[in-house]
Amino acid sequence: MEAFPGLIDCHVHFREPGLEHKATIASEASAARSGGVFVCCEMPNTTPPTNSIERLKDKVERADHARDVCDVRFFFGATVHEHLAELEQLLSDPSLASLRRHCCGLKLYLDNSTGDMKSEDDVTEAAFALCGKYSFPLVAHCEHAGTNDRCSCIPYTNAASHSERRPAISEVTSIREAISRAEKHNTPLHIAHLSTAEGMRCVKDARERGVKVTCEVTPHHLLLTVADYDTLGGRGKVNPPIRYSDDQELLWDGVIDGTIDCIATDHAPHLLSEKDTTDGMPPSGLPGVEVSLRLLLSIALGHWPHPTTKPPASALKLTTEMIRRLMFTRPNEIFDLHASDAPAIRIDKQGSYTITNENQKTKCGWTPYNGWEVKGDFSLI
């Protein structure tokens, strides 16, 4: 029998407080657990954002009742210097040590995404310096398209327009800048939702020079390409956008050779009424926390779950050992989470499962993988 520990998803959005019509900590904690994810690191782009000690405390209290279902840790956010002053207090004041344990890092948006939390250059520079000083993980959303997420997007008259509006080069430029700041300040930098082969090469080169940089990739960038806009339309809109198959293939090489540290879903629930809007401006983001293990397990068992594409050459080299590294060992180390490695998930290699909108537990009630058949199944021990 093969077993996994409860897995870690180091990039989720649970929408509470302020956006509870999309999702709540309780709803998404139970979605996570049903997908074998016992620890989640939640992003600060709620309403209000998690950018003060008070607001962090509020989220920690809200998550208390769900802790047995899923242990939610929180990223601090910063868009102005005052937020960094709050973070420095959290990191340095011994009386805040117990609160500090619930905070897994600082999240910086180097371009706008849902929540429009882009940090300007001077704040970005100060944030890298602060996280370098305290050796505190800094997670960067790397894009450099200069867009406001909702307003300046080309509407969805042409489904692929989002991928053109935020092209690969916008991610690569932003990753280069972030790496050079990390190098200057000795900051432990983690690149969120890496989506380009060139960005991945930058990470690899920097690491070889001794820069402390790690990265994650999402299941959607590993499984979907721009061709999927045909079926997904606005549901496929996400930042950074889904890419062409050449990026997808090379990202898989990085998963297999160890350049990619983590697979994290960027679980970003939005309602179908919002995603299927007819104004051509759906919000960006896809749900994923409860299906990532199912999708990856299927691939590790030799079945590529996408109904109409062939697997990239490296994908079928994925093993269950690699899943453990990508969804447990590496995120546990990078964010110092002290998650339990006790066996918690029993794998059934003979089983199978069909992912459908109806069987999703997430409050948003849909999945971009609706109707996909996966090999393998699992149960919680």
d(CA 106, CA 99): 14
**Which listed range, 64-72, 83-91, 100-108, 266-274, lies at the site for Zn ion (CB under 5 A)?**
266-274
The CA distances from residue 200 to 162, 183, 353, in Å, are 21, 16, 32
- DSSP alpha helices (H): ranges in 12-109? 25-34, 53-64, 81-92, 97-100
The site string for ligand NCD over 79-118 (x = CB under 6 A, - otherwise) reads: ----------------------------------xx----
Q: Using the rule CB under 6 A, is 282 a contact of ligand NCD? A: no
Residue from 174, 284, 332, 362 touching ligand NCD (CB under 6 A): that is: 284
Q: Using the rule CB under 6 A, is 196 a contact of ligand NCD? A: no
Burial class (CB in 10 A: 0-12, 13-18, 19+), 267: buried
Complex with Zn ion: residue 141 or 306, whichever CB lies closer = 141
Complex with ligand NCD: residue 171 or 183, whichever CB lies closer = 171
The site string for ligand NCD over 32-51 (x = CB under 6 A, - otherwise) reads: -------------x------
Complex with Zn ion: residue 311 or 368, whichever CB lies closer = 368
Length of the chain: 381
| Residues in CB range of 95: below 8 A, 6 or more apart | none
Q: Which entry of 205, 261, 266, 341 is annotated as an active-site residue? A: 266
**Which listed range, 106-114, 243-251, 289-297, 358-366, lies at the site for Zn ion (CB under 5 A)?**
106-114
d(CA 36, CA 144): 34
d(CA 187, CA 177): 13
Judged by CB under 6 A, the number of residues near ligand NCD is 11
Is 341 an active-site residue? Answer: no
Residue from 113, 147, 214, 292 touching Zn ion (CB under 5 A): that is: 113
Q: Using the rule CB under 6 A, is 360 a contact of ligand NCD? A: no
Complex with Zn ion: residue 4 or 128, whichever CB lies closer = 128
Q: Using the rule CB under 6 A, is 24 a contact of ligand NCD? A: no
Q: Which does 238 bind (CB under 5 to 8 A by kind): Zn ion, ligand NCD, none?
A: ligand NCD
CA atoms within 13 A on the CB side of 266: 28
Concatenating the DSSP letter of every residue in 269-303 gives ---HHHHT-TTS-PPP----TTTHHHHHHHHHTT-
Residue type at 251 in one-letter notation: L
Residue from 15, 55, 107, 141 touching Zn ion (CB under 5 A): that is: 141
d(CA 308, CA 232): 13
d(CA 23, CA 365): 10
Q: How far is the CB of 206 from ligand NCD (least distance, A)?
A: 22
DSSP letter (8 states) at residue 313: T
Q: Which of residues 136-155 bind ligand NCD (CB under 6 A)?
A: 141
d(CA 349, CA 134): 44
Judged by CB under 5 A, the number of residues near Zn ion is 3
Task: State the catalytic residues.
Answer: 266
Binding positions for ligand NCD, rule: CB under 6 A: 13, 45, 113-114, 141, 238-239, 266, 268, 284-285
Residues near Zn ion (CB under 5 A) are 113, 141, 266
